[in-house]
Amino acid sequence: MAKNPKDHAVVLVVDKLTKSQAGELVGEFAKAKNKVAPNARTTGGMTTRTNIGKILQDGVKKLTDMSDK
């Protein structure tokens, strides 16, 4: 087994934001991800509160369907 297996993920939902605030947070998260874990796979999106479940389902499907190669 690898000493530090890459078997962790981060899921973050923040609501009650304006479209501008949501966009700014997405950008800041992307910058932080690239600094901390530049080779990590990512998926994400910005949506209205009523579509949070769809975004999460789509993200899980996308990441679990990706090859680890």
Q: What is the pLDDT of residue 17?
A: 95
pLDDT band with cut points at 50, 70 and 90 for residue 69:
very low
The pair of structure tokens assigned to 66 is 């990706």
Lowest mean pLDDT among 2-6, 30-34, 64-68: 64-68
Q: Residue 31: what pLDDT?
A: 94
Among candidates 31, 35, 34, 26, which has minimal Cα distance to 55? Answer: 26
Over residues 23-31, mean pLDDT: 93
